[in-house]
Homo-oligomer: A and B are copies of this chain.
Amino acid sequence: MGRHFLQIPGPTNVPDRVLRAIARPTIDHRGPAFAELARELLDRLKPVFGTRHDVVVYPSSGTGAWEAALVNTLSPGERVLAFETGHFSTLWCEMAARLGLVVDLVPGDWRHGADPAAITDLLSADHAAVMVVHNETSTGVRSRIPEIRDAMDATGHPALLLVDTISSLASMEYRHDEWGVDVTVGCSQKGLMLPPGIGFNAVGPKALAHRGRLPRSYWDWDPIIAANRQGFFPYTPPTNLLYGLREALIMLEEEGLPQVFARHERHAEATRRAVRAWGLEVLCADEREHSSSLTALLMPDGHDADAARSLILERYDMSLGTGLGRLAGRVFRIGHLGHFNDLMLAGTLGGVEMGLLAAGVPIKEGGVRAALAYLEETG
């Protein structure tokens, strides 16, 4: 009984307003009502990416949008420079390799973001693109994209900048145009508060002009952008998810993007205060790089993160994110993004506090109180 707390870093709690929108009857995707919906949507999407240019919408997971970014811009055998910030940056690189690209990986400790200085040191003439994950969902660490861009610009290098905003989009400040990003990868089930099933590419003019030769059909931007001009798609679009997307965009506009970002920052700070009051450690090691959408907690030695997660799921009906890859068993992740507010955070942290105690993890009890104090001061 009672509502499940879905506090993984995505999919996030879908607002019932959005769920009801998704339940509208499907319509003819070649008719005038659809065209109106599509045009409205495509316009409303742009501010979320901070772009005046095209945003391409795919019926796909975020993984599909990763692939789209690569196959549209790169050619077989080209080199890319990428940063190991965690599990998802690693997966993206593995995808690039499978598609026939050569990946130069800047190694990382999974507790820091991409290092702008590495650009200066490592970006070489034959790199066609730089791949960065803005907010690494496996670690809760944010990379400083503007500094990466500055470092690239300082080299005068023409490489494209490809950025994954899977778990930061619509939760953390992001400016595709202003920050000089060429392709931004996003998806529906995180800050956009939708079920999974939509992937995005925001496409800057340089990326659109410099197309690679990797084979592509489904992911090809050109026919989509061309059809979008008339309000249509070259394939059957995921109409019902688009209904939800429109509703979610309206909700974000109603709150205001700056307010949305501030809300996420405040909840993230409250969560970190709870973690510290429990005497535990946040995985992110650089104060400049905390994620606003999720927090990864390091478990004390000898305590299994997944055992605690399972207990919390069973006893308190809350889903938390598991430790991925090399972090398995050592961290768990609290998602505090999307359709979320102070009392949902109070419930979430209450569940973590009770769960850690019940699992025998040696914590101090004041975590929730510390978070409430911060929330109350800043409310």
Q: Which of chain B's residues has its CB closest to A236's CB?
A: B196
B346 pairs with A342, CB closer than 8 A = no
* Chain A 180-199 per-residue mask, 1 if CB under 8 angstroms from chain B, else 0: 00000001010000011100
Does A328 sit within 8 A of B, measured CB to CB? no
Given A59-B60, A99-B215, CB of A6 within 8 Å of CB of B26: yes
Which of A46-54, A148-156, A291-299, A347-355 sits within the interface?
A: A347-355
Asked if A30 CB lies within 8 Å of chain B CBs, one says yes
Interface 9-mer from A114-122, A202-210, A278-286, A315-323: A315-323
Q: A2-B339, A59-B59, A316-B343 are in contact. Are A214 and B215 (CB under 8 A)?
A: yes
A63-86 CB mask vs B (1 if < 8 Å, else 0) is 110110000000010000000000
Please, which residues of chain B bring their CB within 8 A of the CB of A348? 343
Enumerate A91-117 residues with CB–CB distance to B below 8 Å: 95, 98-100
Instruction: Say yes or no: B23 contacts A238, CB within 8 Å.
Output: no
Q: Pick out which of these stretches binds chain B: A128-136, A139-147, A157-165, A367-375.
A: A367-375
| Contact A318 B343, CB 8 Å, known A61-B59, A62-B236, A63-B235 | yes
A229 vs chain B, min Cβ distance (A): 19
A344-B347 in contact (CB<8A): yes
Could you tell me the distance in whole angstroms from the C-beta of A218 to the nearest C-beta in chain B?
5
The residues of B that contact A234 with a CB separation of less than 8 Å are 63
Q: Which of B28, B255, B319, B351 contacts A11 (CB 8 A)?
A: B28
- Is B339 in contact with A316, judged by CB distance below 8 angstroms? no
- Bound-complex Cα distance A67 to B5 (A): 37
- Copy number in the complex reads 4
Question: Which residue in B11, B26, B61, B64 is a CB contact (below 8 Å) of A196?
Answer: B26
Q: A4-B27, A98-B215, A339-B2 are in contact. Are A358 and B379 (CB under 8 A)?
A: yes
Contact A343–B240 (Cβ < 8 Å)? no
A243 to B263: give the CA distance in the assembly, Å.
30
Enumerate chain B residues within 8 angstroms of A19, measured Cβ to Cβ.
16, 23-25, 240
Closest B residue by C-beta to A252: B1
Flag if A13 contacts B22 (CB, 8 Å).
no
| A354: chain B residues within 8 A (beta carbon) | 342, 346, 372, 375-376, 379
Closest 7 CB pairs of A and B: A2-B341, A346-B350, A347-B347, A197-B238, A343-B347, A195-B240, A28-B319
Mind listing 5 A-B residue pairs with CB under 8 Å? A1-B260, A3-B15, A6-B28, A11-B236, A95-B217
**Given A1-B263, A342-B354, 12 other A-B contacts at CB below 8 A?**
A1-B15, A1-B260, A8-B30, A14-B240, A31-B313, A59-B59, A62-B236, A98-B215, A195-B238, A195-B241, A346-B346, A368-B372
